[in-house]
Amino acid sequence: MTIDWLALVAGMGAGLIVSGLFFIGLAWSVKQVVTATRPGRILLLSFISRMTLLLGAGSLIAANSASLWPLIGYVLAFFMVRLLALRRARNTHSATPCDKGAPLCK
């Protein structure tokens, strides 16, 4: 079994872009929910749009490749971006939602 490096790197490139958009959308929706009066709608719409993007791109990659290497690269990129997003979220020291006047803290 040989690794198709070009396909793996192409899948990782697509995965980095799509995963970056996924986590940017997640961060945006979480920021909106803090002060929203109807947070459920924001979270649901965000989830549906982010999952559609992520799974749609993964499906396109899987359907248009002769091997699994692009899909493997795509999934690896998602987990790499996820790891970076988690590290950044843990290191970011921001005000708590209650400090910003969130409706749930009253």
- Within 36-106, residue ranges assigned H as helices are 39-63, 69-91
Question: Which band of pLDDT confidence, cut at 50, 70 and 90, is reported for residue 3?
Answer: very high
- Residue 95 clears pLDDT 90, i.e. is over it: no
pLDDT in tens, 80-91: 999 999 999 888
∠47-81-23 over CA atoms, to 5°?
25
Closest CA to 22 of 81, 80, 62: 81
Spell out a b/e string for 6-22, using b for 16 or more CB atoms within 10 Å of the CB, else e: ebbebbbebbbebbebb
